[in-house]
Structure 1
Amino acid sequence: MIPKKITFWGGPYLFILPCFVVYALFLLTPLFGTFAFSLTRWDGISFDNLRFIGLQNYKELFFDDPTFWLALRNNLVFVGGAVVFQCILGLAVALLLEQKLVLGNFFRGTYLIPFTISLVVIGIVFESILNPSLGVLDKVLTSIGLEEFTGLGLWLGKAKKAIWILIFIQAWYGFGWSMLIFVSRLKAIDPQLYEAARVDGATEWQKIVFITIPLLKSITAVVVLFATMWAMKIFTIPYVVTRGGPNHATEVLATWAFSHGLSYQHIGYGSTIAVVLVVIAMIIGSLLFRLTGMGKAQE
């Protein structure tokens, strides 16, 4: 006689319990702690100075802090610019590498190198390159006879120029990852589709537009979502390269929260900015999730 199989309704939950504990310990706990501190005024030195002030920090942030709105605008510009450049560049390089070029595998690995380097190191390198007195860029422009472009040399000293330079750095850093994701999807496309299109007289451009791009829709949504989240919480590049300057022109929410939380020792106010950043990131992520159809069941 075969004994009955004994089942326990909570069995599946036991397997995910360790993951949930780690998730709660390293994400939920700091998140709730940050929200709790956002309701206080504290210098971060002694709990004797901790004072509950309710939503006063939020009121001050939304109505009395013009730099917050500037930082938010910069965040959105940064997200839009970095995501577009990163995705387009990643897709273009992926399509190029799929043309069976000589040393294609070598270049595929080379393009991934920036993504493996610390953002602090990347920031320091670009800051050195763009330095108006010691930087390599001005020297190269001078050596090839483009002296008139050197002197614009305060590359990071002009507001409109600085933010786009930071966007370029972020896109340069992340496009290798985007390229790798696109390449993996391109290899999964049935070659017979291209062969049938060739027989029908389709040009290479028509193959890309009518076959490749539509079949990359789902993976493009993934790339856009991840690139958006990375760009939304950007901190290292603006902080290392420009310190949020000139005159807050490259200030983003993360650097503004850091400045208040650690530099000015306004822990409560810095936590308030961090909470707002998290909420905005969640809203944008949720909208992208719905707009791209990633939340729908696969049919």
Structure 2
Amino acid sequence: MASLLTPVKGKLFIHSSRKSTHALDGAYASLLRGHSLDFDDLRAYEYGDQIRDIDWKATARHGSPVVRRSLATRMHTVLFAVDTGLSMTALAHDDTPKKDLAILAVGVLGLLALRHGDDFCLVSGDSTAVRRREIGRSEAALEHALRTIDRAVDAAEAPSDRDALLSYIARTIARRMIVVVLTDDTPLGEETERLLRRLRVQHDVLWITLRDAEPILDSTGSGTGALRHRRDVGSHWGVPEFLHGDAELAAELHAADAVEEAHRESLLRSLAITHVALSAQDEAVGALLTMLDARSHVRHG
């Protein structure tokens, strides 16, 4: 059985060779800032550390920069909350399986967590059940988590239920964690907002939107194979072929999407929740890096 983690490592390596491994490590370090002021020990300065954390007296003795490390920054748990309902069986914006984009995102962030000595756990589910995997501290455990996502989406028959995932975490996870929510671009309702406000008090929350494929193609010349895939995964209703290439209809759909995207961004920003929308496999690692970098500008509670 082919490894799901190996291609993730490949994409991470390609991006590292373009940017620098330090850039990825520094971006991940920004995810961890601001958790605690409880002093624990000293360590060598690393790319991404804040200047204010440097212990200047220890630096003078050591001869190179040394930073003060808090109890909280020694070990974190990254909790991946992944929707594995029917909506995840659809295509992503780049016409690849949305499931694969979720696996890539979890794999990249999971590898960075392990490289920094942190651990992770997975909460996934749909409208029928929410399941939690034990905390993992190895690449083998991460591979297991990715396979859990893969199998759950392949077997999905029930609708997605994002609020059920958030409610489960709010009710059962007491220890402070970094909660990374992976979901589609379904509009955020009042219940989702209520749950996010509750979660934000206890945890640091990041939101990853997996963008759906365009329902209306720009041109009917895009290929009959592509046209056959324009089918709603819930109702199985297929988009009539004559609608493809209708520029006016496509413009209306894009306008509606833009309104919802603006609402999502506004809400998450008001809650100090860092957000990124992933559209394509080739751009995902760079987008995740940008999201992590943005954490350095977020004030933590």
> What's the TM-score, normalizing by structure 2?
0.23
More helix by share: 1
Q: Which has the larger radius of gyration?
A: 1
Pick the structure with more strand per residue.
Answer: 2
Q: Greater relative contact order: 1 or 2 (C-alpha under 8 angstroms, separation 6 or more)?
A: 1
